[in-house]
Homo-oligomer: A and B are copies of this chain.
Amino acid sequence: MFKGSLLEAMVAHASENKKPTDKQQKILESAIRIFAEKGYTNTSTSEIAKAAGVAEGTIFRKYGTKDNLLLSVIVPFLKDLFPAIAEGVFNEVMTKDILSFEDFLRAFLKNRIDFFNENKEIFQIVVKEMLYNTELRNEMLPFFLENVSPRIAKIINVFKERGELADFPTRTIQKMVFTFIGGYFVSNFVLLPENGTDSVDKEIENIIRFVMNGVGTGKKPH
């Protein structure tokens, strides 16, 4: 299952302009909801059709295959997710009076948390399939590493030179920060999505404090 290129799908998707009909919208919504809950493989097209109130054939008329339905769900999301593609995010984040690494983190986290809150279910689908689906993982990971990773490295270097970040290897800093922020996103939006974060702003400050200073006091036991 899932033969073929994610990239191709993303390019192909760009050229689709037609407005979806009511039923098509319903299909997408149902697919997103059920894929998010049970995972792609555990969801049958008949289940989606029933939930969307359409005939099963209608799904295949529009999307051709179940695989392609999945792509139709995640491709628009991925195009926004990877800042390297949707050129906007980093520019937006970096241009606005970013004076410190903390400011950058704050802007970045705000931006992505808002995005994931708006697309919580698709994010769940993507995370689940990235772990579950070998082919999809093999397409998405290099994509991320090649396009997003270098941009982050550049930003880290800027702040290292300003003396705001410790003099560890850039790769190490990046790995630590990403592991933590990635883990935060996954645990908050996928694993425990119902735990309403008390206050997003307060949560963001917690994250920043942890990333910058850790949880220690600097005191060693005597």
Do B218 and A213 have beta carbons less than 8 Å apart? yes
CB distance from A31 to the nearest CB of B (A): 16
Q: Which listed segment binds B: A15-23, A86-94, A168-176?
A: A168-176
Contact of A164 among B41, B132, B166, B221 (CB under 8 A): B221
Do B214 and A39 have beta carbons less than 8 Å apart? no
A38, A165, A179 — most chain B CB neighbours (10 Å): A179
A interface: dominant SS: helix
CB distance from A184 to the nearest CB of B (A): 5
State in angstroms the CA–CA spacing of A209 and B215 once bound together: 10
Q: Please give me the residue from chain B that is nearest to A127 by CB atom.
A: B131
Query: Contacts A180-B179, A183-B179, A214-B211; is A163 near B133 (CB within 8 Å)?
Result: no
Query: Contacts A179-B184, A210-B176; is A216 near B42 (CB within 8 Å)?
Result: no
Do B39 and A173 have beta carbons less than 8 Å apart? no
Do A182 and B177 have beta carbons less than 8 Å apart? no
